[in-house]
Structure 1
Amino acid sequence: MTKQKSESDLFRQITQGPGLVSVLGVFVALLIGGLLIAATDSKVAETAGYLFARPSDFFSAVWAAGTDSYIALFNGAIYNSSQGFKPFLETLTVATPLICAGLGVALSFRAGLFNIGAQGQIIIGAVMAGYVGFAWHLPVGLHLLLVVIFGLIGGALWGGLVGLLKAKTGAHEVILTIMFNYVALYLIDYLMNTEAFRRPGETNPISPILDASAVFPSLPGSNLHLGFVMAILLTLAVAWILKRSTIGFEFRAVGHNPEAAKTAGVNVARTTILVMALAGALAGAAGVAQVAGTEKVLTNGIAGSLGFDAITVALLGRSTPWGTFFAGLLFGAFQAGAVNMQIATGTPIDIVLVVQSLIVLFIAAPPLVKTIFGLNPKKKRAATSEPVKAGAK
C-alpha cells in the first residue's frame, strides 16, 4: 500500500508539475499554430473544394502545410544541411538580449512588482553604453568593461527611479514604467539628432561605429558574440541572488506579502528601490548586448520590441532565472527561424507571433492545459473516491 501510494505521489508530482504543463502548453500552441498555417495555405484551400470527394488530399495538404513550415522554422533556427549548426548560433545571438531583459522583468515579478519598463531601461542602457563605445577611445579590455558597466548603470538608474518614486510617493509602478518608456523613446530620438551622438556627415539618426575595443568579440563566421556568455553569467547571478542571498530572500518575502515582510523587519521601501534598480541593470545589459554585440552602432530603434518581448519571456519562464533563460532561447529560435519559414514555404511571418502568443496563453493558464490533457487532480480524486464510499455503504 505504501509503495503504491509513493508511486501515485510521484506520478502526481510529474503530471502536475510546472515543467510538464509548460511542455504541454507549448505543444498545444504549436498544434494550433499548425492549423492556422494550414488555413492560410493555398494547397489546403484548393483541396478543400473537393473535400468530400477525396478527403485524403485535404488532410495530406493540412499535414504537409504544418510540417513543412515547422521544418523550415527548425532549419532556420537550429540546423540545416547546407549550414550545419550555424542557424543555432544565430538563435543564441537573437536570444541574448531577450534573456537579459527577461531576467529583469522576472526579478521584479518575484518581488511583486510589474516592471513594464524594460523597453526604456534597454534604451537608456544602450545610450550610455553606445556613447562610451564611440566617444571614448580606450585600451582593449578596459574599454569594453566600461561599456558594460555604463550600460548596466544606465538601466539601473532608469529602473531605480521608478522604485524610488514608488517607495516615496506610492505611485504605481505600471504607470511609472509605461511613462518612463515614452520618456526614454523620445529622449533617444532627441539625442540621435544632436552632434554628440549623430555620425558626422550623416543626416540619418545613426551614431559613429563603436571602436573595435568597445565591442564584444564574435565567434568567427557567425554573429554570436561574448554577450551570450554575459547572459549566462547574469542568469547564474540572479539564480544565486534569489536562492542563496539574504537580499533575495527579502525580494521573495516582499513579493509574497509586503505587510508580513515589513512586520518581520524587512525595509520594503529599500527593497523596492533595489529590486527595480537590479531589474533595470539587467535590462540595461540587453541594451549593451544590442549596441556592443549585434548592431555595433546606436540608433533610435536599437531596442526594437525587446522590452515587450521580455515580458512574454519572463511569463513563459514562470519568473524563474533558468526558466527565463530557456524561454529566451525558445523565442530566439522562433525569431531566427521565422524568416526562413516565410522564404521556404510562404507562410506569413506573423504566424510566429501568433504561436508565441498562444504559448504564453497556455503557460499562463495551467488549469486549461491540465483539463485538455485530463490532468485535473480534483476530478481524479473525486472519481477514485466514489467507489470507496460505495464500498463503505
Structure 2
Amino acid sequence: MTNEQAVPRLTGGQVCAARFAAQGLGTPFAGDTPATLVPVAVTAMAGAHAQVMSAAELGIGLRVEGATRQDVREALWQHHSIVKTYGPRGTVHFLPAAEMPYWVGALSSVPPMASNAFPEGVRMTDDQTEAVIEAIADSLKAADLTIDELSDAVVERAGEWAGDLVMPAFQTMWPRWRQAQHLAGLRGVLAFGPNRGRKVTYTNPHRLNPFEPAEPREALGHVLRAYLNAYGPSTPQRFAHWLAAPKPWAVEVFAEAGDGLRPVQVELDGEGSGEAWLPADHVLFEAAADAAPPTEHLGVRLLPYFDTYSYRVGNQPPELLYPGKAADRVLRGNFQNLVVDGVVAGLWHVRRSGRKLHVTVEPLVTLTRRQRADLDEQVDRVGVVLEGRPDLTIGPVTVGGHA
C-alpha cells in the first residue's frame, strides 16, 4: 500500500452509489440469459451467503434482469457455473466456479483465529485432520453422498477413531471427523450436491470442474480485490472480520497488495472516518475528483438475510449503513433490510402460503411518493424472483430476526 498520493475524501453517498452500481443493485446485470448471468452477479457480490437458500436466490435474482430462483438453481445444478460450499468464515456460500482456484487458494491459507477449542478427548491431531480431508476427497470422487453415507466412507478410509461420537451438536453427538468438514470445503474437496429428497448431499467439486488452487499470495490478492470491489472502501480490520481471520495477518495482506491499493477518507456527518482502502483503479477515484456528490436516485430495495450490500459482517461502518432508528431496530437483529437510497431505512418479512407471498414492510422513515412507488415495484420483483404472488402490508414486523 502507498499513501504518498493525496488522499481523496468521499461522501457516504458516493460510496453507496458506487457499491450499488458494482453489485448490480442499481442497474441489474443484463445482456444474456439470466442463468448465464448468475455467476456474474455472484462474482460482483464477492460470493453470496447461502445459509438460507431462498435468501441467496433472492439476493442474486434482484441483481440479474428477469431472473427467478429457477435461474439460480439452473446455474448451480445444471450449468455448474456456481458452487455451493464453505466460503468466508467457514459459512455456506455460493462462489463462482471459474474462480474456485483463487477462492480455495485464499481460504485454505487463512490462519485460524485461535487454537482448537475442543477438549483433548475430542479434538483431532494435525495428522488426523489431514487423513480425514483426504478420506472426504476420495469418498466423493465418484458419487454424491448423504452425510450418513459420507460418514461411513470416511470411517472406512481413515479409521474407526474418526467415527467416535464425541462432538456435541444440536442435542445429539456427531462423529469426530466432522470437525474437519468445513476445512474440506475450504480446501476445495467438498461442496454441496443436489438434495436427495429432503436429505442434503455432498460432492467433490473437482468431479465437474477440475482445478488447481492458486498460489496463496496470488489467490489472496484476487480475493482481496473482489472483497474491496463489493464492500469497499474498507480496512484490514473489516477484511479480517469478513474472513474470521487475525487482524495482524489481514494488515499484512493489505501491505502485500502494495501500489494496487489506494487510501481514501469517507465522510460521516461531515467528518472523516479514518483511512480505508480501494483498488487503485476503482471508479470512486474518478468520482472523488468531482466537486459535487452524485445525485443519483438509488431507489428502494428489499434485501434478504445476509445480503452482501447491507450484512454487518466485514461491511461499512454502522453509521453509514444504519443511520438513525435503523441502528437500534435493525442492526442489532438479523433482519431482511429495507434499503432506501443506499442506507437501511427499515426491515421486512415474507411468509409463503402456497403461491402467495405475504410481504410485510416496516419503514423507519417516511417514504416519499416516489419511494412508495419504488417499493411497490420492488415487491413485484420479489414475487417474480421467488415465483409467487405477493401482497404488501406496511406495518410492524412482528417476527424476530434470523438466527
TM range (shorter): under 0.3
Bigger radius of gyration among the two: 1
Q: Which has the higher strand share?
A: 2
* Structure showing greater relative contact order (alpha-carbon pairs closer than 8 Å, 6 or more residues apart): 1
**TM-score, structure 2 normalization:** 0.22
Structure with higher helix content: 1
TM-score normalised by L of structure 1: 0.22
